[in-house]
């Protein structure tokens, strides 16, 4: 799945097709044999999403250390907090009902402005107000959060 994400694949079929077109390189990627689409799908059904969450938090921390230098000189870090509504098709995503004829989810983000790296990313139902997600964010004691 990581390979599919890194290569901007749109679906499991697209990911498998990409892997199959590079069978001579699978050994170097740590993949022994070509994987069937059904095997990958079954693995995704049973894989806990928190694995990817914890890995993302680890990578964000490393990226902030590597790219923490900036031309902006401010004591502490500067953060922007924002949310955006992502419209979805109600007939396909009935679980994300936003209005009578509309489906949506909301993406809540806390962005470190010194290095443009997100420190917090959370998806909610489109009806959830931004203020309700603030309790989930970790705020830095010396951080600056402009209005």
pLDDT tens per residue, range 121-140: 889 989 888 889 988 888 88
Is the pLDDT assigned to residue 106 strictly greater than 90? yes
Cα–Cα distance measured from residue 43 to residue 45, given in angstroms and rounded to the nearest whole number: 5
Q: Is the CB of residue 76 less than 8 Å from the CB of residue 144? A: yes
| Three-state SS letters, 17-70 | HHHHCCHHHHHHHCCCCCCCHHHHHHHHHHCCCHHHHHHHHHHHHHHHHHCCCC
The pTM (predicted TM-score) of the whole model is 0.55
């Amino acid at each position: 799945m990581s390979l599919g994400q890194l290569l901007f694949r749109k679906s499991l079929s697209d990911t498998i097709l990409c892997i199959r077109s590079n069978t001579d390189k699978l050994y170097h990627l740590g993949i022994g044999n070509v994987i069937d689409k059904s095997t990958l799908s079954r693995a995704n059904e049973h894989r806990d999403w928190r694995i990817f969450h914890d890995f993302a938090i680890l990578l964000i921390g490393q990226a902030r250390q590597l790219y923490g230098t900036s031309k902006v000189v401010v004591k502490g870090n500067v953060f922007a907090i924002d949310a955006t509504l992502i419209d979805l098709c109600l007939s396909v995503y009935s679980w994300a009902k936003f209005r009578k004829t509309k489906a949506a989810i909301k993406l809540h983000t806390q962005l470190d402005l010194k290095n443009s790296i997100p420190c917090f990313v959370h998806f909610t139902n489109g009806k959830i107000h931004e203020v309700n997600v603030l309790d989930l964010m970790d705020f830095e004691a010396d951080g600056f959060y402009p209005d």
